[in-house]
Amino acid sequence: MKFFVDTADVDAIRELNDLGMVDGVTTNPSLILKSGRDIKEVTKEICDMVSGPVSAECVALDYDGMMSEAAELAKIADNITIKLPLTWDGLKACKELTSNGTMVNVTLCFSANQALLAAKAGATFISPFVGRLDDLNVDGMELISDIRTIYDNYGFETQILVASIRTANHMKDAALIGADVATAPPGVIKGMAKHILTDKGLEQFMADWEKTGQKIV
Ligand code: E4P
């Protein structure tokens, strides 16, 4: 499973990227707001750092507006992926852009039918939002499983990009289901290294080592 980082925080991306943990980046208008940076400037900086796909989201709601914004965002770098909402106009723009070789990430997906439409429109990535479904007591991972089955049934090449990830368990579940990509905030990716028994084991080893009175270096 590929790891994308869901942030526009350049320092956080760099830390994970230096460790080889970053296969791509996703941003959205809320994350751009949080970064306090200009969208084109920060996206360029991210694209220069990360070789994988970097999603930049259009904010127009109509087809023509989306196409104009997509053209502008695509100028930033070769690894830009245009992020479009799962609306009828978004699907139309997706079809047009992917037919011309532009990568498209269709976002705000909350149902298997929406994911089916995105695949038919040639989306490179579909972003189902698991956390926001979980917030409503709907099992977000069941949606991932359904989309996996549907895409495999018909050999769709659209990659399932699990989004709105809130916990390390979401990462594990996405990998078990066979999602192609998971995009998560830096804290969730770093949190995957944590285990209480690792901490307790280290504590014990350190205490016993101290008692040996030895030094390695
Ligand atoms: C990623 O592409 C999405 O924009 C993001 O994962 C949404 O996450 P949220 O539900 O935590 O805002």
| pTM of the complete model | 0.96
Report residues whose beta carbon is within 6 angstroms of any ligand 1 atom: 6, 26, 28, 107, 127, 129, 131-132, 163-164, 183
Amino acid 180: pLDDT? 98
In-domain check, residue 64: yes
Cβ neighbours around 214 below 10 Å, total: 7
- Token code pair at residue 36: 């306090």
Amino acid 124: pLDDT? 98
Domain span at residue 78 reads: 2-212
In-domain check, residue 143: yes
Amino acid 84: pLDDT? 98
Determine which residue's CA is closest to atom 6 belonging to ligand 1: 164
Instruction: Compute, in angstroms, the gap from residue 85 CA to the centroid of ligand 1.
Output: 12
In-domain check, residue 217: no
Amino acid 115: pLDDT? 98
Instruction: Compute, in angstroms, the gap from residue 104 CA to the centroid of ligand 1.
Output: 16
CATH number of the domain enclosing 158: 3.20.20.70
Number of domains in the chain: 1
> How does pLDDT run across 108-129, given as a tens digit for each residue?
999 999 999 999 999 999 999 9
In-domain check, residue 151: yes
Enumerate residue ranges in the chain where pLDDT < 70: none
